[in-house]
Amino acid sequence: MNRRHTLVLPHQVATQLRQHLFPGDGLEAAALLLCANVGQARDKLLGREVIPVPHDACVRKPNFLTWPGEYVEAAIDRATQRGDVIIAVHSHPGGFYEFSNADDESDKVLMGALRHGTDAIAGSAIMVPDGALRARLYHDDRTATPVDLVMEIGPDLRCWWNEGATPNGPQRPPMAFTGAMRGWLSRLSVCVVGVSGTGSIVAEQLTRLGIGEIILIDFDKLEERNLNRILNSTVAEIGIDKVEMFAGAIRRYRPDCGVVPVTQSIATREAVLAACASDVLFSCVDTGEGRHIADRLSAFFAMPLFDVGVAIPTEPTADGGRRISEIYGRVDYVYPGGSSLMDRGVYDGALLEAEYLARVAPQAHAQKVADGYLRGVHEEAPGVITLNMRAASACVIEFLARVFPFRQFPNEAHARTIFMLAEADEDIFAEGRFTAGNRFPIACGPTEPLLGLPDLGTKGRWT
């Protein structure tokens, strides 16, 4: 996957930009977008704050705009406090999806001021009425480099690629489940946290669908008891890291896919920094701590999050045995600024405390140990691959529905899906069913301590 620059817009930021840039009068308007820079393998800019330039402070025409420098100075002051990158955004009400000669001339003056004012790269961008945004960056005062991908993270995952764009507009996403979809996916990077019973199936589907890069995070090693539910695992690989085993399998059938195995817990600095480089996050873990880290990653790094889980609760029978009371599968989609997994009750503070107690005082926690897949029944090697397959498939289909919309109703109505096999039923929950607690800052990037967690902090700032 060959990509140098990405700009990510949380849904709230993109909406604020659209509303200001297109007030309905058909005239150009301007704003300054402040972005955190996640710069490691490639620049990834996270739009976190909009400074609108008031309409009445500008000279505005359908294809012409001038605005006073005081707002540039205000943006520079704000950006230098946090090390932000500034992107100057203006509208093209007529829908012209290209930088004009006037835009080029304006950038010659403005980009130098922004760069020297912030001691960082700077950028300019245009937005057309449907919200599509095209951007470019300046690493010096005169040479512009296109932003390869602008991505809006909301109920839908809107991707605007510089490649394939014309003055008439961006390249439209292909129809879902077609061969053309594979080419589109080949330009995206995903991260799968937890490469075990469910995670290995999610990773397998994503890779075979054509995803361009996959980051695999899991600290565990393959055991014999895992062989009945982890795809691609063999007896010969017992004892090696799960992610290394799975990465080797991918390289055999998808040599064109970039694979990054990370043999660490997601609750480590190394794993968090690896995960945040991706475009989409898949949480396939079985702990509250893992989901808590995924929640924070989604917010701090403006990432779409797909979380999948399964459960088989059991109950006692009259003869002293136990029976299955239900078989559940759950998929949650979380976007920054919406309700989090914690808001939805997927985990809570009590669970996090119990898991911490299990690590530091296992004897005191002996009575609270989770039963695994079948609650109330101890099973070393449960036969759950069919349940995992269904839940993992639902998770990946949820992802496809966000990038290549195919539903007959808005994706906003599909924040959570729960299927119940014993009852033969499926429940769907809209985003509006949950209350966003605004627990975490949005798109602030790699501030210290990382994710706001002291255990992930460092004395030196990560860049």
DSSP 168-184: TBPPPPPPTTSHHHHHH
pLDDT value at residue 363: 56
- Phi and psi at 455, nearest 5°, equal -65, -20
Diameter over CA atoms, the chain? 84
Residues 6 or more apart from 135 whose CB is under 8 A from it? 7, 87, 123, 124, 125, 126, 146, 147, 150
pLDDT value at residue 359: 74
Residues 6 or more apart from 227 whose CB is under 8 A from it? 233, 234, 235, 238
pLDDT value at residue 368: 45
Tens-level pLDDT at each residue, the chain (463 residues): 688 999 999 999 999 999 999 999 999 999 999 999 997 667 899 999 999 999 999 999 999 999 998 999 999 999 999 999 999 999 999 999 999 999 999 999 999 999 999 999 999 999 999 999 999 999 987 899 999 999 999 999 999 999 999 999 999 999 999 999 999 999 999 999 999 999 999 999 999 999 999 999 999 999 999 999 999 999 999 999 999 999 999 999 999 999 999 999 999 999 999 999 999 999 999 999 999 999 999 999 999 999 999 999 888 889 988 899 999 999 999 999 999 999 999 998 888 877 777 777 665 444 444 456 666 555 656 788 999 999 999 999 999 999 999 999 999 999 999 999 999 999 999 999 999 999 999 999 999 999 999 989 764 333 3
Here the contacts of 166-172 (C-beta below 8 Å, separation 24 or greater) are 166/97, 166/98, 167/96, 167/97, 167/98, 168/95, 168/97, 169/95, 169/97, 169/128, 169/130, 169/132, 170/97, 170/132, 170/134
pLDDT value at residue 374: 61
- Phi and psi at 105, nearest 5°, equal -65, -40
The CA distance from 395 to 282, in Å, is: 9
pLDDT value at residue 17: 98
Q: Record the pTM.
A: 0.94
pLDDT value at residue 379: 60
